[in-house]
Chains A and B, each alone.
Chain A
Amino acid sequence: MEVRHIPYLLLLPAIAYLLFFIGYPLIQALYLAFTKNGAFSLETVRRATSDPTFWQALKYTISLAIAIVPIQLILALILALAVNRAFKGKDFTIYALIIPLTISDVAAGLIWYTMLSDYGFMNKLLLNLGLISQPIHFFGYEYRTMEFLAIVIAEVWRATAIVFVIILAGLQMISREYLEAAEVFGAGYWTRLRKIVIPMLKPSIQSALIIRTLFAMQVFGIVWILAGRDIPVLAGEGFYQLMEIKDYGVASIYALTIALLSIILGALYVKFLKAEYLEVRT
């Protein structure tokens, strides 16, 4: 066998896997979404997009991502910088920070639902402290803003850890020599952060952003628990159409919308956040 064929052979299992588990379902979804009685038809697309819920789901999915991802990034950066130095109890702090990562989104949703409900921990605490006289309502169609807030709180609590881990790993890869050299030349903390740490963290930030934003497009469990369908999101509506209404065509449109959004966002990140290494630049 010729040597130049070997790489292709080695790729074969992966390609077979992708074809079977991603290619086939994708074709199936396209078929369900764009055909009627075996012929090409846009009827399903029209049925899905004529429902105002579709546009609300799109709007809420994107606004949740816009609200959650930047908070997570900034919070994770602050936390990572805080623990990236030697102090007593450092390991313990890191473990404590990543505990929420081990909890499933549904469980996290349930925890926050119980905490924020009318007779939950938060309201009881505020009532007992005399700060409020009536419980603050977080849940219900009339309180969608509060539900939105509850989702943001729960998501930040649950999923900041993954961004934190990625950024911490990136921080630890930055050689101390750069920082020491900068210090010798009189660069203060902010200058070092701006000129060295952040640029060198770019690859980590990029990975973290891609992962978080793509996950945000699929956000489902937490929203479902905290707000039901008061706040529709794409994944939730897809599930609802599939399981309750049994409209497989419309469910596929939701799934394809998530896929399309993910591809576009992924491409944008790769294009505009090109990873730069100081070594390459100099």
Chain B
Amino acid sequence: MRKAVGILAALLLAVAVFASGCIGGGGPTKIVWASTQLNPPEERAFVLNELIPPFKDEAGIDVEFVPISYSDLATRLEGEEQSGKVTIDVVADLHGGLDYFNAKGWLTDLSDKVKTLQGRTFIESYMNYATDKNGKVFYVPWMSATYVMVVNKEAFKYLPSGLTEQDVIQGTEKWTYDALLAWVKNIYEKTGKKAFGLPAGPKGLLHRFIHGYLYPSFTGYEAKKFDSSEAIDMWNYFKELWKYTNPASTTWDAMADPLLQGEVLIAWDHTARIKNAIVTKPDQFVVVPVPRGPEGRGFIVVLAGLAIPKNAPHPDEAWKLIDYLTKPETQVKVLEKVGFFPTVKEAANAVPEGPLKILVEGVTAQSSTKDALIVMIPNLGEKGGEFSGLYREAFKRIVLQGEDPQKVLGELGPKLHNLFKEKGIPEP
């Protein structure tokens, strides 16, 4: 009896081994997609449950989504490229990271393949970023995000003379930082309300407003003219603006709630962080381009792209995934679910009427202003925190504590320039 059981078990084992071999051999190819984007749990759930399954059904290719941090990705890619044993098929990262990988020679040339993509027009400026100086397309633009202004329609009642609603919504020449100051001053004088709001809390993105919006608009650069005389003018302007900025700003991390509570009528923040206000009360708010300064209309574009590493094990399957992810309908889905903006024009037009349309219109108006001065967040790796910290410190000392801008910038300037020197990156 015992012997019979033993033989049966051995037989079952043999069958199982044989069967698993058959299934493994004949099943769909599995590709590895390493991404620094869409890593938070709810976004990851969206990728696993809604983004990948339709692709798997359609193309018969299985995808292993590997959420990874930038530093881990860089280490892994370097190791794999040097040993020649590459396991990653598709890399998704921000522009800065991909630019670095390309400079190291780790990415495949996609110039010919991009031309074969049907039914989509990539936004030109994004495509320019994705092309290096030798004309090599090293990634396909995938998702973008930016920071915009939101206006409660109530505020239009108090427009200063010379500025119209259309100026603000379209981002004309007249929509300047001085006009913004005159506007919020007017609201204060008529209603006693400090109507402008900024996310200046500890986890707010105020430093982006300073280095990506005010600095380029007033000095033409993010960091290069940090301690110039133009910068001093800019800080004096900011001090003036702060008089009409809601003081509770220093406790706000995101502007959706203050907008919904009516504590502010005009606010600046990341699109993802104001989305909730627009979705909750779409009739009440408009998303508008940011104002311009003497040097132009500076704003940050966060651009994520998809690339194929050199010697990737499944380049053709990897390309099919990229094709799928940049289709207009896929991009609309990404916008609806996680709030990142499309990189192809067809997708922007395909967004249904409603709150998202309000956001997309504002973002599109901003990126198509004639004086647009697109800036990217510099890729300083682990020094990125220090970089942001310096702008925040300048804000705290100059605007909140009233120190002399010349003195503060003189102290902080060398520290900032040093960060770029240490990393060997030209100052933007």
Chain A residues in the interface with B (C-beta under 8 A):
113, 117-119, 134, 137, 139-143, 147, 224-230, 236, 240, 244-247
- Given contacts A244-B203, A244-B388, A244-B389, whether A139 and B247 have CB atoms under 8 Å apart is yes
Q: Is B262's CB under 8 angstroms from A143's CB?
A: no
Name which residue of chain B comes closest to A51, CB basis.
Answer: B393
- Given contacts A119-B263, A134-B192, whether A140 and B202 have CB atoms under 8 Å apart is no
22 contacts between A and B (CB under 8 A): A117-B261, A117-B263, A119-B261, A119-B263, A134-B192, A137-B247, A139-B248, A139-B250, A140-B247, A140-B251, A143-B247, A228-B200, A228-B202, A228-B250, A228-B253, A229-B202, A230-B250, A240-B202, A244-B389, A245-B388, A247-B385, A247-B386
Q: Is B202's CB under 8 angstroms from A141's CB?
A: no
Q: For this complex, into which size category does the number of interface residues on chain B fall?
A: 20 to 34
Q: Is A141's CB under 8 angstroms from B385's CB?
A: no
Chain B residues near A141 (CB-CB < 8 A) = 247, 250, 400
Chain A residues near B200 (CB-CB < 8 A) = 228
Assembly CA distance A140 to B252 (angstroms): 9
- Given contacts A118-B263, A119-B261, A141-B400, whether A244 and B247 have CB atoms under 8 Å apart is no
Q: Is B248's CB under 8 angstroms from A244's CB?
A: no
Assembly CA distance A245 to B393 (angstroms): 12
Assembly CA distance A251 to B256 (angstroms): 30
**Is B276 an interface position by the 8 A CB rule?**
no
Q: Is A139's CB under 8 angstroms from B251's CB?
A: yes
- Given contacts A117-B261, A119-B262, A229-B202, whether A245 and B386 have CB atoms under 8 Å apart is yes
Q: Is B248's CB under 8 angstroms from A117's CB?
A: yes
Q: Is B246's CB under 8 angstroms from A140's CB?
A: yes
Q: Is A244's CB under 8 angstroms from B251's CB?
A: no
**Is B53 an interface position by the 8 A CB rule?**
no
The 8 A-B pairs at the shortest CB distance, nearest first, are namely: A140-B247, A139-B248, A245-B385, A246-B385, A228-B201, A228-B251, A141-B250, A140-B248
CB contact list, B339-394 vs A, under 8 A? 382, 384-386, 388-389
Name which residue of chain B comes closest to A224, CB basis.
Answer: B202
Assembly CA distance A113 to B257 (angstroms): 12
Name which residue of chain B comes closest to A230, CB basis.
Answer: B250
Chain B residues near A147 (CB-CB < 8 A) = 251
Q: Mark B76-118, 1 if CB is under 8 A from A, else 0.
A: 0000000000000000000000000000000000000000000
B345 CB to closest chain A CB, in angstroms? 36
Candidates B246, B263, B385, B400; contact of A244 at CB < 8 Å = B385
**Is B249 an interface position by the 8 A CB rule?**
yes
Assembly CA distance A229 to B252 (angstroms): 11
